[in-house]
């Protein structure tokens, strides 16, 4: 027997599908073997977002390119997150040079109109070898803020107001905090009972997620910092790590933990972290760091989630730096995820090994003639997908059926809901919103970084 669901439930259910797409989609993808520079997956005159996501996965070791050189458009090997950024710039029409070293190409990277890192590769240096941390922190909590889904206007408690480029300012002239991802997280908790914050907390407690902050060049005491008007310039390194032998979550959470840095935190052949913020200030009680693009790599439920986040901002309230490190009572990480990146990732996920039950070989979501994302490849029924592990595949690929209480699909309405939630204008055309704001709160305790883990 079937019946019509309440409208509110329909909205929440679709929003849940969008959140799951965002969180889980960036998984290793099968390579199509095209072979052109920066095109490990597609054919045509230019890379697509799918190619760029593939390159980002290759940069963190989730997959590999054959030949390896086609995933290094900056001109040098190994592949890094910079290659994915160059690819993405070209994919969206940027006039950038693709310089894959497949025929003895350049050994240095090229500045292409946005921040890149010039890297000289070596064969003898261990990643991060010789790196010495300074005032360190371990992020012991990481949470999405609550959102009232019944409110006429979403006003998340965290984390950042993107001002003139945000939907609420453009449409209403207001200055609310922007956090589209938090809206989706709230929908997930309301409908499925899957509390994303609880899942992340569990991963932190087991050591699956270990984020470390290394503060370079700050005052050693709060008294010294107080004397610096407007905050002291410094460099913030955001590192991925693991518990050192003898450290468990209890020790880490108490501020007495010892940690090893994951080698993947560094640019190849160097002691230079991939994620570093040079536009940063450390004041008497607050810290702020701004970046252009932040390549997030987070283990989640057995998957390594890769997501480029733009317009990154890290802030925190602290009690000063000591020799033991820095403690943050209230921190926040904010940025913007491009909607195009999200849909490219969803398409890759649905074609990937996790969703073979769907039998999909082409993109489910595509852009129409007006540049609007639509579900052109939604399927009527995914009867071959019967296991709980395949539920996400059904949710994103199967058509929405309002009259079937047992139906799980939301494919054909995901683009509409995503368009309604997208809240950041990235191209200056205020008729459309290309980005989805994101923000998470964190707290951190002092930490000892004793070295770099073995590869």
Average pLDDT, consecutive stretches of 10 residues, N- to C-terminus, the chain (455 residues): 34 38 34 66 75 77 81 86 75 76 48 27 41 91 82 77 92 89 68 67 88 83 40 83 95 96 85 86 90 58 57 91 91 90 82 85 90 87 74 76 57 79 90 89 95 84
pTM for this structure? 0.64
Determine the pLDDT at residue 77.
86
Tell me the backbone φ, ψ of residue 393, rounded to 5 degrees.
Answer: -60, -45
Tell me the backbone φ, ψ of residue 168, rounded to 5 degrees.
Answer: -65, -35
**CB of 11 closer than 8 Å to CB of 42:** no
Determine the pLDDT at residue 284.
85
Helix axes 414-421, 339-351, angle to 10 degrees: 150
Determine the pLDDT at residue 219.
60
Longest Cα–Cα distance of the chain, Å, equals: 72
Determine the pLDDT at residue 93.
66
The strand pairing partners of 234, in sequence order, are 280
**CB of 209 closer than 8 Å to CB of 200:** yes
Q: Got the DSSP string for 374-426?
A: E-TT-BS--TT--SGGGHHHHHHHBPP-TT-TT----GGGHHHHHHHH--B--
Tell me the pairing of strands 435-452 and 135-143. Answer: antiparallel
Compute CA 348 distance to the chain's CA centroid, rounded to the nearest angstrom. Answer: 16
The strand pairing partners of 212, in sequence order, are 138, 239
Give the number of other Cβ atoms within 10 Å of residue 383's Cβ: 10
Q: Locate the domains of the chain by residue range.
A: 1-27+130-455
Tokens of 303: 């998957």
């Amino acid at each position: 027997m079937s019946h019509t669901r309440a409208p509110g439930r329909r909205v929440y259910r679709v929003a849940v599908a969008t959140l799951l797409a965002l969180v889980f989609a960036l998984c290793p993808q099968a390579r199509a073997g095209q072979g052109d520079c920066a095109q490990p997956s597609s054919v045509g005159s230019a890379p697509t977002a799918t190619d760029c996501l593939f390159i980002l996965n290759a940069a963190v070791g989730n997959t590999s390119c054959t030949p390896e050189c086609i995933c290094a458009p900056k001109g040098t090997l190994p592949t890094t997150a910079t290659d994915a950024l160059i690819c993405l710039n070209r994919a969206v029409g940027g006039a950038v040079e693709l310089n894959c070293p497949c025929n003895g190409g350049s050994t240095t990277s090229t500045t292409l109109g946005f921040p890149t890192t010039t890297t000289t590769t070596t064969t003898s240096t261990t990643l991060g070898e010789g790196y010495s941390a300074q005032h360190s922190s371990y992020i012991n909590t990481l949470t999405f803020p609550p959102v009232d889904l019944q409110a006429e206007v979403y006003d998340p408690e965290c984390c950042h107001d993107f001002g003139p480029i945000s939907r609420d300012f453009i449409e209403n002239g207001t200055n609310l905090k922007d956090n589209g991802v938090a809206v989706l997280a709230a929908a997930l908790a309301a409908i499925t009972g899957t509390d994303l914050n609880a899942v992340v907390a569990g991963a932190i407690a087991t050591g699956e997620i270990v984020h470390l902050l290394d503060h370079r060049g700050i005052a050693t005491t709060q008294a010294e910092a107080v004397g610096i008007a407007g905050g002291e310039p410094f460099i913030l390194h955001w590192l991925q790590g693991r518990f050192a032998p003898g450290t468990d979550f209890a020790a880490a959470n108490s501020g007495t933990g010892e940690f090893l840095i994951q080698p993947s935190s560094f640019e190849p052949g160097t002691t230079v972290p991939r994620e570093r913020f040079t536009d940063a200030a450390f004041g008497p009680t607050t810290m702020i760091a701004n970046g252009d693009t932040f390549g997030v790599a987070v283990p989640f439920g057995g998957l390594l989630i890769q997501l480029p986040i733009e317009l990154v901002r890290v802030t925190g309230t602290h009690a000063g730096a000591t020799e033991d490190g820095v403690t943050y009572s209230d921190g926040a990480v904010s940025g913007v995820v491009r909607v195009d990146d999200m849909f490219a990732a969803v398409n890759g996920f649905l074609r990937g090994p996790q969703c073979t039950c769907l039998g999909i070989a082409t993109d489910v979501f595509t852009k129409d003639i007006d540049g609007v994302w639509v579900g052109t490849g939604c399927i009527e029924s995914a009867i071959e997908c019967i296991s709980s592990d395949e539920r996400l595949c059904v949710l994103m690929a199967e058509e929405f059926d309002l009259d079937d209480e047992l139906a799980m699909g939301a494919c054909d309405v995901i683009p509409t809901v995503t368009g309604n939630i997208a809240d950041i204008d990235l191209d200056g055309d205020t008729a459309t919103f290309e980005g989805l704001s994101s923000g998470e709160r964190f707290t951190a305790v002092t930490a000892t970084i004793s070295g770099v883990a073995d590869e």
